[in-house]
């Protein structure tokens, strides 16, 4: 099948390239655009309490809709505010109300703190959307007005609150995305130059993946529009890395085989057909494993994961089609010029290091398996200490929003920035019983972890009352989440009089429900995805045994990566936890993409077995051929994520470092040492019941690599990066 496809592509290469260009232009011009949402309640099922609370806000308290900005006014010398200072603050509030910065619907003067060190001004925006550009512009206008109004007064007025925090975070993440994308391109280009000594080969992934990205994003936008799916900002940030990572891997797999066939004496067109024929199944199987892993996210209850699954699956499927059509068409058109200006592709270099390592694995499989397995097991034990940090929506360090929060906390509890909302609503369609909300508020005032309970506020229609609760801790901290999930909800639910229902919402409650949803989804998605990947491996290898130990290795790699992150960030740097979606990121980039390397290695081991080489000798040959490919692909993917260290956001730095470490573990510990060593130890049993190590009959032609000049010497090494 792959040979027939390759022959068609090579014969019609100009048509194939033109088809891709036309598709990219038409889809980009006319297909719906990919739109991202960052509103957490957009992705939680409606059954969760925080979502029901959000709906109540819209129905009964429309005036509280929209993002809130808080102006923290303090003295520059740190002293208590005087009556004159408070008069200036009142004037600032009137000015903001009169000028109405963009998107602001209401400005109200706030209270003075009990210690008189801080005074608040509250501004409510019309928009609820965290990515509304008018909110960011309105925040900038507020800051300009306040800077002018406080000049010469000895006061400092800083804008914070969720509107300002999000605006500053958006700006920080956009800068980080630009920096990391640019650095990723540079890293890939430099590493490909080193791998092939070729400018053309280095440019090939950048240009083709760019074209594939245009097509993939347009297809994702079309699918989202057709099925009313919502994209999320995390998918938008990760998409370029996924496409560059997967695309570069598949291009490397193909180019190494293509160079091998050129060295064997084939012309450019024949070499490309042979390369696709030999490596096409590996690329397709690897892509299918990744697509299955991503698509399994559809089973999630959390909308963030449910929307990410199809998007990532479409992206990888598009990359697969490009790897089997666009890349062969372009390379067959360029021929050996794809390696220009290097001429080293013509001669096979020595493979001393690869030969020694491959020979060592063959001679000492027990030692290699024990050491590599012990490394992964030890790191996996560290994963038991994993603690999730949900403080993703916090103000980036050094921004005005972060400084404003520090100012607020000089005189107010930490929870003042984002109150927990407790709704008391009447059941049966009748009005709220008299005193019901006051009863709930009174009980909440004695609840552990609660700092301030504001007087109840009646909603439209008289059926619902709102009690705003200020927590003693940062609303996004673990302590606050523990308070809301336990004491606050327990007390609120228990204190509602007969004929009422009490619902707890607000940002902290959203994060509590988000944690529940993610934990449920991890328990459902990960096992199912693992089973489906194992089935794909079984179909590829016609074996039951090999997929079992391959999946065990993948699980160890996954847990080892989590453990490495825990050891580095929680124990090494003293973080209270690591980003809550880290297991998802490791799943996407280490488990799913790391399976590519396993498939490449195990497929090469199978080729050696089919060529009649005994396991201990065959692993040496396979290592020489596959190790340079895996090493190059792993270094490029790890290097791509290491660029996240340049990002401003701590979460992106944690994510990039963790994935880079995980890819190194998957490529260099799991795929290059543990898997080959276990395969040698199992020998013929590894391929049961299909026994794909059976030597092919001579009538069927030589085994792949068996008759090649590069492999006949017993040291093929065709995939060496030089």
Tens of pLDDT, residue by residue over 602-637, are 887 887 777 777 777 777 777 777 788 888 888 888
Residues 192, 641, 239, 550, Cα dihedral to 10°: 90
Better-scored residue on pLDDT, 457 or 718: 457
Assess whether pLDDT exceeds 90 at residue 482: yes
Tens of pLDDT, residue by residue over 39-73, are 555 567 778 899 899 888 888 888 777 788 999 99
pLDDT for the residue 698: 38
Assess whether pLDDT exceeds 70 at residue 704: no
Assess whether pLDDT exceeds 80 at residue 271: yes
pLDDT for the residue 460: 78
Cis preceding-peptide flag for 689 (omega within 30 of 0): yes
Q: What are φ and ψ of residue 277, in 5° steps? A: -60, -35
**Domains of the chain with CATH codes:** 1-30+198-341 (1.20.1640.10), 66-168 (3.30.70.1430), 352-400+536-722 (1.20.1640.10), 419-505 (3.30.70.1320)
Mean pLDDT score, 524-543: 86
pLDDT for the residue 144: 94
How many CB atoms lie under 10 A from the CB of residue 449?
18
Assess whether pLDDT exceeds 70 at residue 37: no
Give me the residue label for tokens 């060592």: 360
Average the pLDDT over each of 258-272, 311-325, 618-632 and give the range with the smallest value. 618-632
CA distance 255 to 576: 45
CA distance 702 to 718: 17
Band (pLDDT 50/70/90 cuts) for residue 696 is: low
Strands (E), 472-577: 500-505
How many CB atoms lie under 10 A from the CB of residue 244?
25
> What's the CA angle centered on 270, arms 265 and 274, to 5 degrees?
95
Give me the residue label for tokens 């040291």: 715
Residue 255 · residue 717 · CB < 8 Å: no
pLDDT for the residue 216: 87
pLDDT for the residue 716: 37
Assess whether pLDDT exceeds 50 at residue 513: yes
Assess whether pLDDT exceeds 80 at residue 130: no
Mean pLDDT score, 459-488: 90
pLDDT for the residue 54: 87
CA distance 101 to 89: 17
Q: Is 496 left (phi over 0), alpha (psi -120 to 50) or beta?
A: beta
Q: Which two tokens stand for residue 348?
A: 């096979």
> Measuring CA to CA, how many Å separate 609 from each of 140, 613, 614, 617, 686?
67, 5, 7, 9, 11
Residue 593 · residue 245 · CB < 8 Å: yes
pLDDT for the residue 352: 65
Residue 494 · residue 444 · CB < 8 Å: no
Residue 494 · residue 487 · CB < 8 Å: no
DSSP 455: P
Q: Which two tokens stand for residue 720?
A: 């060496």
pLDDT for the residue 708: 39
pLDDT for the residue 712: 37
Band (pLDDT 50/70/90 cuts) for residue 302 is: confident
Band (pLDDT 50/70/90 cuts) for residue 103 is: confident
pLDDT for the residue 38: 54
Report which of 60, 68, 717, 146 is spatially closest to residue 426, judged by C-alpha positions: 60
pLDDT for the residue 709: 35
Assess whether pLDDT exceeds 90 at residue 341: no
Mean pLDDT score, 434-452: 93
pLDDT for the residue 349: 60
pLDDT for the residue 395: 66
> What's the CA angle centered on 583, arms 581 and 589, to 5 degrees?
105
According to DSSP H, which parts of 150-232 are helical? 161-196, 199-227
Band (pLDDT 50/70/90 cuts) for residue 230 is: low
Q: Mean pLDDT of all residues in the chain?
A: 84
CA distance 718 to 347: 10
Burial code (b: 16+ CB inside 10 Å, e: under 16) for 612-623 equals ebebbbbbbbbb
pLDDT for the residue 711: 37
pLDDT for the residue 121: 94
Average the pLDDT over each of 179-193, 221-235, 353-367, 651-665 and give the range with the smallest value. 221-235
Tally: H helices and E strands in the chain: 25, 13
């Amino acid at each position: 099948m792959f040979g027939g496809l390759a022959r068609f592509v090579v014969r019609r290469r100009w048509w194939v390239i033109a088809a891709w260009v036309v598709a990219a232009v038409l889809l980009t011009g006319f297909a719906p655009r990919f739109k991202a949402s960052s509103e957490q309640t957009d992705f939680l099922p409606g059954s969760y309490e925080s979502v029901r609370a959000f709906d109540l806000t819209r129905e009964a308290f429309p005036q509280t809709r929209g993002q809130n900005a808080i102006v923290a006014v303090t003295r520059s010398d740190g002293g208590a505010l005087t009556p004159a200072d408070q008069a200036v603050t009142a004037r600032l509030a009137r000015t903001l109300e009169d000028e109405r910065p963009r998107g602001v619907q209401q400005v109200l003067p706030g209270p003075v703190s009990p210690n008189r060190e801080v005074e608040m001004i509250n501004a409510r925006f019309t928009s609820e959307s965290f990515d509304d550009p008018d909110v960011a512009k309105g925040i900038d206008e507020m800051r300009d007005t306040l800077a002018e109004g406080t000049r010469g007064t000895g006061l400092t007025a800083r804008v914070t609150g969720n509107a300002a925090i999000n605006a500053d975070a958006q700006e920080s993440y956009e800068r980080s995305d630009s920096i990391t994308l640019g650095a990723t391109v540079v890293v890939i280009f430099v590493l490909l130059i080193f791998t092939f000594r070729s400018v053309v080969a280095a440019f090939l992934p950048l240009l083709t993946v760019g074209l594939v990205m245009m097509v993939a994003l347009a297809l994702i936008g079309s699918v989202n529009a057709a099925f009313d799916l919502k994209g999320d900002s995390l998918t938008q940030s990760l998409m370029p890395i996924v496409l560059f990572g997967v695309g570069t891997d598949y291009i490397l797999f193909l180019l190494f085989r293509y160079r091998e066939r050129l060295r064997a004496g084939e012309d450019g067109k024949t070499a490309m057909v042979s390369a696709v024929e030999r490596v096409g199944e590996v690329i397709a199987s690897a892509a299918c494993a990744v697509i299955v892993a991503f698509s399994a996210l559809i089973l999630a209850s959390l909308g963030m994961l449910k929307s990410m699954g199809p998007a990532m699956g479409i992206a990888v499927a598009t990359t697969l089609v490009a790897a089997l059509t666009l890349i062969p068409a372009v390379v067959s058109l360029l021929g050996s010029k794809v390696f220009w200006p290097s001429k080293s592709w013509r001669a096979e270099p020595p493979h001393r290091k690869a030969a020694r390592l491959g020979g060592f694995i063959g001679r000492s499989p027990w030692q290699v398996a024990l050491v590599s397995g012990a490394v992964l097991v030890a790191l996996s034990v560290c994963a038991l200490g994993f603690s999730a940090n949900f403080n993703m929506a916090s103000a980036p360090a050094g921004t005005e929003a972060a400084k404003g929060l520090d100012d607020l906390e000089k005189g107010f509890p930490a929870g003042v920035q984002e109150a927990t909302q407790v709704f008391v609503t009447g059941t049966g369609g009748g009005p709220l019983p008299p005193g019901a909300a006051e009863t709930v508020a009174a009980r909440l005032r004695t609840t552990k972890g609660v700092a301030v309970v504001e007087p109840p506020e009646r909603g439209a229609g008289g059926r619902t009352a709102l009690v705003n609760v200020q927590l003693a801790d940062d609303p996004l901290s673990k302590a606050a989440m523990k308070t809301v999930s336990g004491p606050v909800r327990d007390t609120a639910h228990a204190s509602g009089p007969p004929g009422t229902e009490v619902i707890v919402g607000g940002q902290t409650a959203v994060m509590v429900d988000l944690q529940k949803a993610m934990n449920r989804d991890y328990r459902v998605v990960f096992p199912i995805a693992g089973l489906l990947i194992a089935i794909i491996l079984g179909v590829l290898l016609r074996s039951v045994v090999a997929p079992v130990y391959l999946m065990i290795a993948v699980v160890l790699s996954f847990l080892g990566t989590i453990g490495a992150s825990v050891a580095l960030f929680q124990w090494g740097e003293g973080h209270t936890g690591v980003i809550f979606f880290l297991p998802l990121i490791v799943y996407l980039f280490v488990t799913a993409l790391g399976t590519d390397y396993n498939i490449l290695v195990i497929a090469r081991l199978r080729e050696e077995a089919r060529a009649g080489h005994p396991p201990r000798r065959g692993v040496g040959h396979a290592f020489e051929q596959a190790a340079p490919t895996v090493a190059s692909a792993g270094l490029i993917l790890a290097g791509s994520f290491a660029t996240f260290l340049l990002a401003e956001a701590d979460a992106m730095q944690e994510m990039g470092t963790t994935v880079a470490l995980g890819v190194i573990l998957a490529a260099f510990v799991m795929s290059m040492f543990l898997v080959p060593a276990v395969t040698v130890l199992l020998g013929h049993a590894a391929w049961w019941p299909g026994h794909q190590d059976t030597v092919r009959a001579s009538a069927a032609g030589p085994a792949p690599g068996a008759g090649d000049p590069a492999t006949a010497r017993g040291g093929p090494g065709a995939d060496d990066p030089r």
